[in-house]
Chains A and B, each alone.
Chain A
Amino acid sequence: MNFGSLDLNAIWFVLIGVLFVGYAMLDGFDLGIGALHLFTDTDDERRVMLNAIGPVWDGNEVWLVTGGGALFAAFPNVYATVFSGFYLAFTLLLVALIFRAVAIEFRSKQPMRWWRQMWDVAFCVSSLLSSLLIGVAMGNIAWGIPVDAHGEFAGTFLGLLHPYALLLGVTTVALFMMHGALYGVLKTDGALHDKLRGWVNNCIIFFIICYAATTMATLLYLPHMAARMRANPWLFSIALVNMLAVANIPREIHHGRDWRAFLSSCLAMLALMGLFGLEMFPNLVFSNPAPEHSLTIYNAASSPKTLGIMLTIALIGVPIVLAYTISIYWIFRGKVKLDKTSY
């Protein structure tokens, strides 16, 4: 297909953003359910929690795999620099994702108490660790990482764990926990439902504290992450949407409109990522110090030919993926009922 004079680099910046937002909205609730898992008391409650995400978590994780693949394909230099630079952090993320996957699969395969407790702990800790590391990675991308003249990472593992990155890590944990609790409310009934409804409020408070702290820290210490908004005041409307969406969550929950609370949470994520993308553009890796070494969507990209081929693939594939993903969510709609195929 010929895409003429379209700015394919910018399109792929947006599309990779869309894949990561999709990941956050979908796997975000899986990770949140995982983080809340150990707060439940009985074996049945834990099985309901697992089966709330049972049919979908695997497909949700594919958003991350495909996002990674698309980043590799569209911006190989960014992929190489970030992945080799964040070596230990990404190794830990892999370990966490491996344990999350097998804990879900293995937990209910044996009845022994020690067996189930072991995998319950693995599920919870790996979900928390995944969320934290994803947030820390985002924090580093926002803060900027040291990049040398060859586009290579020039920092250390411990250098990645600075307070701002950790703050964003904790904020991500809070965001996913809130999102997971909202999803849990949708998928459960009875006593567990009431319990989750109580947790939602705590999660919202936790998230709003983190969210406020992150916003302040960003405005104070990361002027480059607010520069575009200062130059174009109308962009403040996106920040406003974000704040309204967050504020709307407790309101909807209070009125018992659980679906709208969950959608509000999705909208908040979309607006957050939108702001993040707008302020980063056209940088993918902001070099700090030495901003002239930053990797942008132009100096780190694949050839226009490749970007065009990938866009063709995406235009064919994505509508099909969305169609059956929505159908599958529809087939598994409603409250969780345990049966013999359940985890």
Chain B
Amino acid sequence: MDVLTLSRFQFALTVGFHYLYPPLSIGLGVMLVLMEGLWLKTNRPVYHQMARFWTKVFALTFAIGVATGIVMEFEFGTNWATYSRYVGDVFGSALAAEGIFAFFLESGFLALLLFGWNRVSRGMHFFATCMVCLGAHFSAVWIVVANSWMQTPAGYHLVTRDGVTRAEITNFWELVFNPSTVDRLTHTVGGAWSSAAFLVVSVSAWYLLRRKHLEFARASLKVGLSMALVASLLQAVTGHFSAQGVAKNQPAKLAAFEGLYPTTSNAPLTVVGWVDETHERVVGLQIPNLLSFLAHDNFHAPVTGLNEFKPEDRPPVQASFMLFHGMVGLGCAMMVIAALGFLYFRHGSLHERRWLLWILVFSVLLPQLANQCGWFAAEVGRQPWIVYKLLRTSEALSAMVKANVVLTSIILFSLIYLLLFAVFLYLLNDKIQHGPDEADLTPSGKLALPRREQPAH
């Protein structure tokens, strides 16, 4: 295989594996803030027990997220040296800001979150938890800013020196708020919240099925299901605005998402189906006029098709279509599941509906799959460009790197990631089987409840 295919495969592998973990850290960050906040507000020990249990899970996901995250930073230089030279001037500010504002904040206060329970007051610990959560969100902000700039470049101009062209920054805020940043950021963060919410829901539903840790499970379900519902509804809204942005800024990508070849007025939306690439059409269940309406707020508006683009400027159609529809389908399923779970929970009959509890147990996989589909759709749909309409992926490689070297690193990373994944599942399962610590129901030392005067009898 050639260096291009191998390098793309390597990046896909490493980023795909990495992206299992940061969404969990971001989402669990919010969950921990909620749980610890509820503990401070109500003084109910079960919230303390929840915060302690989910902190342990957070530590596990965070460690693997950090360990696998540096890989991508290095890969920009090792495999994509031409790309690094091309975008360094623009992109660098965002990455440097990520280091200064996000990573330091996250890792610094992580020390207090994990090890500070008996060293600082409850209020200070809560503050540290909030900072870790904020840091995790900041890292999402800056990395999505950088990636959005690759989708919809703004705030730059091209400069050629000694025959080498690169993008240079003209306006920092135009770069930060490029046309797709806000839509993609909210959608990414929503996905992260979903992944953590469904993890909490899944583990709690499992405890209900096993009739263990019932008080813990109910309280966790309350927080988890509320968040799952909010996040999955949010995903529908942010997803809609994201797709409208794609229709406007990256029409070739939207056409590939929907397998649309001729530019079409009254364009239909495909619910399920596949692309027949030889006959350039979509086979499947379609709703008339809906694509026009969703993309342009008008049932009759023309939607740009792939035929407007030269064949060498089109993304892979079938893959884009499948990944995008996979993501949308999973998103709808999550909405239904979260709504059902929430309604029955409010009704007080969730524990009797074992079929639903089983669905909730397995629902943890849906947001993870949807996150992967979404990212791959966004990146595959941008092809053949690495920076949209500026630099082709095939022109972005390191000039000096040989295929066998890349292959070696792929084999190495595959083996290591398999090992890490196996150990992660083993330890996560172990924590879940072990369950929350009963001793956490009676916080001691600095965590003890504020002493109240007992009324005399």
Interface residues of A, Cβ cutoff 8 Å to B? 54-56, 58-59, 61-62, 64-66, 68-70, 72-77, 79-88, 90-91, 94-95, 97-99, 101-102, 104-106, 109-110, 150, 152-154, 157, 302-303, 305-306, 309-310, 313-314, 317-318, 321, 324-325, 328, 331-332, 339, 341-342
| Residue pair A79, B88 in contact (C-beta under 8 Å) | yes
Interface 1/0s, chain B 391-435, versus A by CB < 8 A? 000000011110001001100100010001001000100100000
Chain B residues in 8 Å Cβ range of A328: 108-109, 111-112
Chain A residues in 8 Å Cβ range of B416: 95, 98-99
Question: Does B96 touch A at the CB level, under 8 Å?
Answer: yes
Nearest first, the 9 A-B pairs at minimum CB distance are A76-B88, A73-B92, A83-B77, A66-B99, A317-B100, A55-B111, A80-B81, A84-B398, A105-B63
Chain B residues in 8 Å Cβ range of A59: 104, 107-108, 110-111
CA distance A95 to B68 in the complex (A): 9
| Residue pair A81, B81 in contact (C-beta under 8 Å) | yes
Most B C-beta atoms less than 10 A away, residue of A83, A86, A101, A305 = A83
Expressed in whole angstroms, the minimum distance between the Cβ of B434 and any Cβ of chain A is 10
Q: Which residue of A lies closest to B101 (CB)?
A: A317
Chain B residues in 8 Å Cβ range of A317: 97, 100-101, 104
| Residue pair B74, A341 in contact (C-beta under 8 Å) | no
From A58, A64, A99, B110 is in contact (CB under 8 Å) with A58
Q: How many A-B residue pairs have CB under 8 A?
A: 221
Chain A residues in 8 Å Cβ range of B170: 305
CA distance A94 to B100 in the complex (A): 21
Question: Does B60 touch A at the CB level, under 8 Å?
Answer: yes
Chain B residues in 8 Å Cβ range of A77: 85, 88
Q: Which residue of B lies closest to A148 (CB)?
A: B400
CA distance A314 to B23 in the complex (A): 27
Chain B residues in 8 Å Cβ range of A303: 89, 159, 168-169
Q: Which residue of A lies closest to B170 (CB)?
A: A305
Expressed in whole angstroms, the minimum distance between the Cβ of A81 and any Cβ of chain B is 7
| Residue pair A70, B96 in contact (C-beta under 8 Å) | yes
| Residue pair B104, A321 in contact (C-beta under 8 Å) | yes
Whether A65 contacts B70 in the complex (CB less than 8 A), given A102-B423, A105-B59, A309-B93, comes out as yes
From B99, B108, B118, A69 is in contact (CB under 8 Å) with B99
CA distance A85 to B166 in the complex (A): 21
Chain A residues in 8 Å Cβ range of B107: 58-59, 61-62
Question: Does B177 touch A at the CB level, under 8 Å?
Answer: no
| Residue pair A83, B74 in contact (C-beta under 8 Å) | yes
Chain A residues in 8 Å Cβ range of B64: 102, 105
| Residue pair A302, B89 in contact (C-beta under 8 Å) | yes
| Residue pair B104, A306 in contact (C-beta under 8 Å) | no
Expressed in whole angstroms, the minimum distance between the Cβ of A316 and any Cβ of chain B is 8
Chain B residues in 8 Å Cβ range of A81: 81
Q: Give the contacts of B97-125 with A (CB-CB under 8 A).
A: 97-101, 103-105, 107-112, 114-120
CA distance A270 to B408 in the complex (A): 37
Beyond known contacts A58-B66, A87-B405, A324-B105: 9 more, CB 8 A cutoff = A61-B107, A75-B88, A91-B408, A102-B63, A152-B399, A309-B169, A321-B100, A328-B112, A341-B118
Expressed in whole angstroms, the minimum distance between the Cβ of A91 and any Cβ of chain B is 5
CA distance A203 to B279 in the complex (A): 73
Chain A residues in 8 Å Cβ range of B97: 313, 317
Chain B residues in 8 Å Cβ range of A152: 81, 399-400
| Residue pair B108, A341 in contact (C-beta under 8 Å) | no
From B63, B116, B168, B400, A154 is in contact (CB under 8 Å) with B400
Question: Does B180 touch A at the CB level, under 8 Å?
Answer: no
Whether A109 contacts B427 in the complex (CB less than 8 A), given A62-B104, A65-B73, A310-B93, comes out as yes
CA distance A55 to B408 in the complex (A): 34
From A91, A98, A109, A332, B78 is in contact (CB under 8 Å) with A91
Q: Give the contacts of B117-173 with A (CB-CB under 8 A).
A: 117-120, 159, 166, 168-170, 172
Q: Could you show 20 A-B contacts with beta carbons less than 8 Å apart?
A: A55-B116, A59-B107, A62-B107, A66-B96, A66-B100, A68-B74, A70-B99, A72-B88, A81-B81, A84-B77, A101-B66, A152-B399, A152-B400, A303-B168, A303-B169, A313-B96, A321-B100, A321-B105, A331-B116, A331-B119
CA distance A80 to B87 in the complex (A): 11
CA distance A75 to B87 in the complex (A): 11
Q: Which residue of B lies closest to A89 (CB)?
A: B78
| Residue pair A306, B115 in contact (C-beta under 8 Å) | no
Label chain B's interface by main secondary structure: helix
Q: Which residue of B lies closest to A327 (CB)?
A: B108
Q: Which residue of A lies closest to B117 (CB)?
A: A341
| Residue pair A79, B84 in contact (C-beta under 8 Å) | yes
Chain A residues in 8 Å Cβ range of B84: 72, 76, 79-80, 83
Chain A residues in 8 Å Cβ range of B87: 76
Question: Does B82 touch A at the CB level, under 8 Å?
Answer: yes
Chain B residues in 8 Å Cβ range of A110: 427, 430
Expressed in whole angstroms, the minimum distance between the Cβ of A114 and any Cβ of chain B is 13
Chain A residues in 8 Å Cβ range of B120: 331
Q: Give the contacts of B240-269 with A (CB-CB under 8 A).
A: none
CA distance A102 to B430 in the complex (A): 17
Chain B residues in 8 Å Cβ range of A339: 118
Chain B residues in 8 Å Cβ range of A80: 77, 81-82, 84-85, 88, 398
Whether A68 contacts B92 in the complex (CB less than 8 A), given A84-B78, A152-B400, A331-B119, comes out as no
Most A C-beta atoms less than 10 A away, residue of B68, B98, B104, B116 = B104
| Residue pair A318, B100 in contact (C-beta under 8 Å) | yes
Chain A residues in 8 Å Cβ range of B93: 73, 306, 309-310, 313
Chain B residues in 8 Å Cβ range of A99: 416
| Residue pair B77, A325 in contact (C-beta under 8 Å) | no
Q: Which residue of A lies closest to B110 (CB)?
A: A58
Most B C-beta atoms less than 10 A away, residue of A82, A152, A303 = A303
Chain B residues in 8 Å Cβ range of A90: 74, 77-78
Whether A54 contacts B115 in the complex (CB less than 8 A), given A62-B104, A72-B95, comes out as yes
Question: Does B71 touch A at the CB level, under 8 Å?
Answer: yes
Q: Which residue of B lies closest to A70 (CB)?
A: B96
Most B C-beta atoms less than 10 A away, residue of A55, A74, A157 = A55
CA distance A153 to B78 in the complex (A): 11
Question: Does B76 touch A at the CB level, under 8 Å?
Answer: yes
| Residue pair A88, B405 in contact (C-beta under 8 Å) | yes
| Residue pair A73, B427 in contact (C-beta under 8 Å) | no
Q: Which residue of B lies closest to A88 (CB)?
A: B405
| Residue pair B103, A62 in contact (C-beta under 8 Å) | yes
Whether A102 contacts B401 in the complex (CB less than 8 A), given A59-B104, A83-B78, comes out as no
From B73, B95, B114, B399, A150 is in contact (CB under 8 Å) with B399
CA distance A74 to B430 in the complex (A): 45
CA distance A317 to B105 in the complex (A): 10
Chain B residues in 8 Å Cβ range of A313: 93, 96-97, 100-101
Chain A residues in 8 Å Cβ range of B202: none
| Residue pair B92, A324 in contact (C-beta under 8 Å) | no
Chain A residues in 8 Å Cβ range of B110: 58-59
| Residue pair B92, A94 in contact (C-beta under 8 Å) | no
